[in-house]
Structure 1
Amino acid sequence: MKHTNATYIAQTRCWLENVVLKHNLCPFAHKPFKGGQIRFVVTDSARPEFLLEDLQHELEQLRATPVEEVETTLLIHPGTLEDFHDYNDFLDLVDALLVEGGFEGEFQVASFHPDYQFDGTRPNDAENYTNRSPWPMLHLIREDSLEQAVASYPDVDAIPERNIDTMNTLGTAHHRKVLETCLQTGKATE
């Protein structure tokens, strides 16, 4: 079922608040969230090549916007790359765009997907939920901001292991329930 953009954003915000921020999966996300500096964009691109164009546009938009206004962008793309393997393959094109478009060193793109699966894990392993979002999504990150955040964080190398431990402690059933709850957000207003 296709939702309104407001519903996709509400569902993504629910996930951001109840997973990423609540469990401190990204300790650098709190400041831009509290400051209203996260741009949520929903694209209706139905094909990967159009999504790549939208990604380039959003990178250019982020470049042209002062960091005080927008720190980072979440590009939500519910209509394309719903298969995780296709999505994962698409990330090679994202990397090429960063290089060819002159964005390398200025931005990086983190990946999130409802069926995200890390190499060496089983599909139902709880640790996959560190990168499982309600909808396929690309997170556009400013390199300068990330470097500043990393420099001021005491043990950045411990974050991934801590996140895996947190997800495994909470368990797969917990994470499924949270995502299901988020997917109900905003439906009543459509």
Structure 2
Amino acid sequence: MTIPDPQTVADHTQQWLEKAVIGLNLCPFAKAPHAKNLVRIQVSQARHPDAFLEDLDRELQLLGETPADELETTLLVHPALFAGFLEFNDMLDLADQAVIDNGLEGVIQIAPFHPDFQFAGTESDDIGNYTNRSPYPTLHLIRENSIAKAAQAFPDASAIFDRNIALLEKMGKAGWDKLDIPRCPFHHDEGK
């Protein structure tokens, strides 16, 4: 299989952001930064996990040094390194450590997205997992100040998650598939 070029990966990620995250209102905080062009999509071309973590360091530093009115949030995407969700999940501890190592604990946090994302205690085909499914393995670097501001507008964050699950259950897999979100050829639902 051929690894998609970085522009294709960025375009697919943009489509997911617009069709699912914003289109379904899975994250009510995403629309405003997207409309203001304050969401950075950075495609890593690292050939091994250590190089990917170096890319993560650079993105954390850039986000930490750039005012929020110039860059609100970053999606760091890799099309091929973390094909399996468990491999990706294992890397998240290193990603969280990178936040600390860059002196950004309490400033930036990371939210994970993966084509085969699976919450603990769920089956791989559970529709609720789709709240965190993206075309490619993706780390969302989020400013904690942005989360705090959003929490003022939506003080009950658990209500968002519950609403998302209810929406996805109503849509079902067939409804999700109608969104026609591109899917990386390297990924497939594990366990099927």
TM-score, normalised by the number of residues in structure 1: 0.91
User: What is the percent sequence identity of the aligned residues?
Assistant: 43
1:100 maps to 2:118: no
Offset of residue 4 of structure 1 = 2.0
Equivalent position of 1:187 in the other structure: none
Q: Shift in Å at residue 41 of structure 1?
A: 0.4
Residue 140 of structure 2 corresponds to residue 157 of structure 1? no
Query: Please, what is the CA RMSD of the aligned residues?
Result: 1.7
- Do the aligned residues in 2 keep the contact of 1:15 with 1:182 (CA within 8 Å)? no
* SS of residue matched to 2:97: helix
Measure how far apart 1:101 and its partner are: 2.4
- Quote how far apart the aligned CAs of 1:7 are: 0.9
How many equivalent pairs are there?
184
Instruction: State how 1:18-167 maps to structure 2 within 5 Å.
Output: 18-167=19-168
- Is this contact kept in 2: 1:114–1:134, CA < 8 A? yes
Aligned equivalents of 1:72 and 1:180: distance in 2?
21
Describe the SS at the equivalent of 2:12: helix
TM-score, normalised by the number of residues in structure 2:
0.90
Distance 1:181 1:113 in 2: 13
Query: 1:8 maps to which residue?
Result: 9
Amino acid in structure 2 at the alignment position of 1:158: A
Verify the 8 A CA contact 2:79 2:184 in the aligned structure 1: no
Distance 2:179 2:18 in 1: 11
Deviation, structure 1 residue 177: 4.4
CA distance in 1, matches of 2:177, 2:184: 10
Q: Distance in 2 between the 1:161 and 1:33 partners?
A: 23
CA contact (8 A) 1:14 1:182 kept: no
Ranges in structure 1 where 5+ consecutive residues have no aligned partner: 185-190
Verify the 8 A CA contact 1:52 1:94 in the aligned structure 2. Answer: yes
- SS of residue paired to 1:120: coil
* Residue segments in structure 2 that go unaligned for 5+ positions in a row: 186-192
Please give the alpha-carbon distance, in whole angstroms, between the structure 1 residues aligned to 2:44 and 2:61: 15
The Cα of 1:180 is off from its aligned counterpart by 4.8
Report the residue type matching 1:140 in the other structure: L
2-side partners of 1:97 and 1:111: how far apart?
14
Residues 134 and 179, structure 1, Cα contact 8 Å, conserved in 2 = no
